Amino acid sequence: MPALVAATAYFQLAASPACADAFRRYDDRFLLFSGTDLWRQGSFSYGGLLWSPGLLDRDGFVFKAMIGSGTYRYRSGSLGNIEVVGAEAIGLVMPGWRFIRDKTVLTFYAGLDAQYHYLMPFDPGSKLAGTHAGIRGAVEYWYEPDMDTMWTADASVSSIGPTYNARLAYGWRLFNAFYAGPEVAAFSNDNYKQLRAGVHVTGLKFRFLEWSAGLGWTTDNDDRSGLYGRVNFFARR
């Protein structure tokens, strides 16, 4: 089954930039973001924006929009276990609400999830082939227990599929410039599951950009394993 969820999981990470004081500009209302996720069976690239009329670092209403596209490969049981190549395009529009208490940030979203999947050869057993519209809910969490450590987590569920994803990461602040540490993630739909474990770098600032990256190992229920890598960029305005 298509591994769309692997791509959309990292969209959630992409809109959760480091919240360290060293990287804040307190008058920002927009966060522009983009990124690419690569793994053995596919790739996905995206871009979008997060808008908060009451400033990004305050409680209140937020609005997120994103578009993206990618490719993936999977084995189809309905076609005799042959490999199917898919191409996807997605769009998300999700209003939400952000809660900030000291060094804890918690954001909830719910909105429209639109997807298009083209499969070669056509797979009659795939629920994702064609055009679909549904509802996606998501939550993002950031916490700094002290000046030198952080926790971040995100999760989302879509009525298309349905699909689910979640990620958890911990980091130590290094060189007073960025966080680094372990990350784990899981993705699932009706009959496809993928697990990831690796390391991440979060909150490194270069000029007007802030970026994060991850590298590690992924495995799925098709018994296929390999490296994954991702890179995400943010610009506050």
Does any domain span residue 237? no
Rounded CA-CA distance 237/235 in Å is 7
For the stretch 211-229, pLDDT in tens is: 999 999 999 887 889 999 9
For the stretch 2-35, pLDDT in tens is: 444 334 434 444 444 545 443 455 688 999 999 9
Sequence length of the chain is 237
Q: Looking at residue 78, which CATH number applies to its domain? A: 2.40.160.40
- Domain assignment of residue 141, given as a range: 4-232
Q: Who contacts 129 (Cβ-Cβ below 8 Å, separation ≥6)?
A: 117, 118, 119, 122, 123
> Rounded to the nearest 10 degrees, how much is the dihedral formed by the CA atoms of 104, 92, 233, 173?
20
Mean pLDDT rounded to a whole number for the chain:
87
Average pLDDT over residues 149-156: 96
For the stretch 121-135, pLDDT in tens is: 998 888 888 999 999
Give how many domains the chain has, as a whole number: 1
Report DSSP state, residue 23: G
Number of DSSP helices (H) and strands (E) in the chain, helices first: 1, 12
pLDDT at 1 over 50: no
Tokens representing residue 135 in the block: 């509802």
The neighbouring-strand residues paired with 121 are: none
